[in-house]
Structure 1
Amino acid sequence: MNDEQLLRYSRHILVDEIGIEAQQRFLDAHAIVIGAGGLGSPAAMYLAASGVGTLTLVDDDTVDLTNLQRQIMHDTGSLGRRKVESGRDAIARLNPDVKVNPVAERIDDAWLDRTLPGATVVLDCTDNFATRHAINRACVAHGVPLVSGAALRFDGQIITFDFRDDASPCYACVFPEDQPFEEVACSTMGVFAPTVGIIGAMQAAEALRVIGAIGKPLVGRLMMLDSLRMEWNTMRVGRQPDCPVCGGAHRGHDAHQ
């Protein structure tokens, strides 16, 4: 860490639980943020501000006027641009030391299998059920911690899965892929702008706690927010032994042996 970095991150370093050691882990980390919209915007910006050294920003969409009510990484000048390019430029203005890999494509299993082995943590900031399950399967297979967030109307939720811990459930344990599920989107249901900001910022906090090995991340705890009443509820969830994704004997790097 050079003198400029010591000054830039001094307010982190002053916190006993973080200090130089965890801040260095942030600088050395590679976080993959999948989705550069309402959740991904605050998540990516806080990770960049905190000094996460490499961010891979994934989104195949372009910036639309309806996005600007909540997607704070983009502005009016970004209209029509790829979200990942707009996000890369916003992060560069905030912290030019952060390396941003913009990926303007819809990811698939092959991309995940190719990219996740080099990642420290993955943040699922998508709004697509099938994509969420694909991300989860890849994170389980490669033993990469996953921070999952979601928001719609006044409701938000967040949970962390750490596949380095054999007791950790996975996304499919909590939301089975074969259960009836109605895909709903904020384009039809709407969303309260600060709700995505709260959940996205918490995703960044969870990712930093995982990277820095500080505190107790939300592993096995699903937190649900009602931002109309500003009330939180926490549900404890466990790993399901019959889960088709993580319930078998092989997890993490063992899946490829």
Structure 2
Amino acid sequence: MSKTRIYQSTDFIVNSTVKLSDDAFGHMVRVLRLNEGDIVTLFNGNKPNGNEAFQYTAKLVDVKKKQASVEIISEESVNNESPLNIHLGQGISRGDRMDFTLQKSVELGVNKITPLFTERCGVKLSSERFAKKREQWQKIVISACEQSGRCVVPLVAEPMPLQDWINEQTTALKLNLHPKAEHSIMSLPMDKPASELSVRLLIGPEGGLTDEEISQANQADFQDILLGPRVLRTETAALTAITALQCRFGDLK
């Protein structure tokens, strides 16, 4: 199998020829310096049968200065999504921390990320700049899927205030990290099988959530959980919690 995996939101049909998108062309030809005849793997994030996702082996053809196409050779069913659905509500953090959290959470199997405005998020951007930032975050998620072998691309939702997110209607298990919580993820009582479980995981920004925000989350039925005796940075907390959830309920062994 080709080690080069590229995302393109196009329908792929075996034995057809498809023009590469500008992003895919730039990655393959300009960055990776692939040549006509090289074999690549493509995926589009679709699940046409409801459960199965596919990736496609393709050959690079008709390479020109500013465009190229691929000939779709074969398709392969891929089933590496975790049985546990995790929606991460992440307090927006500064600089590379947010990028790192998104990238690694996707590698660990998270299904959706909603960036959250909190009291201590410390990031002030115009709506136009936040739209561009969201596009950048989605590209980071796509790149993480290309690297990790995932074929289903998690959505980076539009950033929203914490209060709006915690009050959304959901049947998911709602969890928030707290250093004085009674239960850890491993000791959390459960009344349903793991196969039927979905989780909303709330992670604060640098400096954490305020006492008032924690109280608001508790009033919205978020349960406090403990990760350990040490204080973790925001990016470490998110990834540690996701890992613990996948170990207990998902597919990390």
Q: TM-score, normalised by structure 2?
A: 0.40
More strand by share: 2
Larger Rg: 2
In the superposition, the TM-score normalised over structure 1's length comes to: 0.40
